[in-house]
Amino acid sequence: MPRRPIIPAGSWPLPKRGLSRAEAAFYIGVGTSKFDELVEDGRMPRPIQIDRRVIWDCRKLDLAFEELSSDGVGNPWDESTSGA
C-alpha cells in the first residue's frame, strides 16, 4: 500500500492548533523570554507534551490572553502631542 504524501510546510489549508514555544510567543505578541515568564507565573498555560514535542494549545492561549488585565495600561495614542 503506498504511503500518503507528506504535506509540505506552509501548504496546510487549516490553521495549526498546537504551537511551538516560539510560535506561541509570537501568537500573543511577546518574545520568548517574556512568554516563558508568563507561563512560569501562570498567566499563560503550560504546554502539553506529545512524545518529545512540547506544544501550546492556541485555544488555551486565547482564553489566557483574554484573562490578562489591562488595568493601568494607557493607550499611547491617546497622548496629545498638539499642545492643546
Share of the chain above pLDDT 90, in %: 61
* Grid coordinates given for 9: 510546510
Domains of the chain, by residue range, sit at 18-67
> Rounded to an integer, what distance in angstroms lies between the CA atom of residue 70 and that of residue 80?
21
Convert the pLDDT of each residue in 13-48 to its tens digit: 777 899 999 999 999 999 999 999 999 999 999 999
* Predicted confidence (pLDDT) at residue 57 exceeds the cutoff of 80: yes
pLDDT for the residue numbered 58: 96
pLDDT for the residue numbered 16: 86
Q: Which of 41-45, 49-53, 67-71 has the lowest mean pLDDT?
A: 67-71
pLDDT for the residue numbered 81: 56
